Amino acid sequence: MKMGRWSSKLVVNIGVVVLCWVVGTSAKAVVSTYNVVSLGGKGDGKTESSKGFLAAWDKACSSTNPAVVYVPPGRFLLKNVVFTGQCKNRAITFRIAGTLLAPSDYTILTNSPNWISFQYVNGVTISGGILDGQGTSLWKCKNSPSTNCPTGATTLGISNSKNVKVLGVTSLNSQMFHIVINGCNNVKLQGVKVMAPGNSPNTDGIHVQLSTGVTILNTKIGTGDDCVSIGPGTANLWMENLACGPGHGISIGSLGKDAKEAGVQNVTLRTATFRGTQNGVRIKSWGRQSSGFARKIVFQQVTMVDVENPIVIDQKYCPRNEGCPGKVSGVRVSDVTYQDIRGTSATEVAVKFDCSAANPCNGIRLQDVKLSYNKKKKNNKDGIINTSAQASCSNAKGSASGIIQPSSCL
């Protein structure tokens, strides 16, 4: 085959750079790049730059060619911004080389569930950069006796979208949740970092709900709530190579808050380390009637380092004892596998299955679980003795194989 002659052409307009590579007379790849600074944004950390970002998005979304929204180095102050589809192309990259700053005054985002939101998009990649939610002042309010604190805004919300990638993004100090995936299909998060203090309230790292085909890879999360929380309607979720701590672990739930609720199924966690967290791998449901369920769950190749509750199913969740005392959970938990779980528990009960009396947990499988509790305990009669880890089961049925420590109570 005769090869055409390679040439390059560069066209520069205000706020847009079009790069065309030509083979002979046929254009092969055309990418339009829209710089938020060229369209009004300022990276001085003081000037509110939402208009420049939205102008760049509008141009990228209206382009029939693949497009890039480029955020150069700098600190860009943004109020809440919503990037909405449907777009004319399915290859938009939001490339961030700088830092995006939420307002330090949390009251500015009081009426916004999300600080940065992508809605109804298809084929969007969010790449690089730092998203700084500046949530310190709101946490201080929530940790005080005050009852007038707003809920706070999620840093990055992706909803009703498909074929989305979040690559190499760092989320700092979110007011509330860091990243929420809601009502989506085929979302990949890779190389994400989430950082907030262990005492920052309600700052879940990644929350997934009503979504199918979400993948979370090579991600490090340290926060004040769940590292990953998995809500109703989640299916085919794959998590691999995760580091969690500080935080409350990885939680399926809470489920069963509503009487009619979609279930959770086909969730896999492979290769993870929990360090100093409140929980390791947890399934929790409200202690009241619900049509919800959790099934076909796999936790494998997990290392626990001084985790308070390494393995736990809690079906008596009832915060503030509101709406559920004396009731039993209707959520059905079944087909859950714990395989190659090793490490240390910070409490004596390393494995706890506290399941529903009305709907006992079924198909619980322990395979090669080795958890130790080495803390010394004082006893007036015996002096200082070593205590071993314990397992506790209530309304749970299943099997155990391989090395099991503590001894199985199934």
Catalytic residue among 204, 226, 248, 314: 248
380 exposed, middle or buried (CB, 10 Å; 0-12, 13-18, 19+)?
exposed
Long-range contacts formed by 325-328: CB under 8 A, 24+ apart: 325/287, 327/287, 327/288, 327/289, 328/287, 328/288, 328/289, 328/356, 328/357, 328/358, 328/359
The number of beta carbons lying within 10 Å of the beta carbon of residue 136 is 15
Catalytic residue among 132, 178, 204, 225: 225
Query: What is the DSSP secondary-structure string of 141-200?
Result: HHTSS-S------EEEEEES-EEEEEES-EEES-SS-SEEEES-EEEEEES-EEE--TT-
User: Which residue matches tokens 């805004």?
Assistant: 153
- Count of alpha carbons within 13 angstroms of residue 388, beta-carbon side: 7
* 207 catalytic per annotation: no
* 225 catalytic per annotation: yes
Q: Provide the 3-class DSSP secondary structure of residue 61.
A: helix
Residues acting as catalytic residues: 225, 248
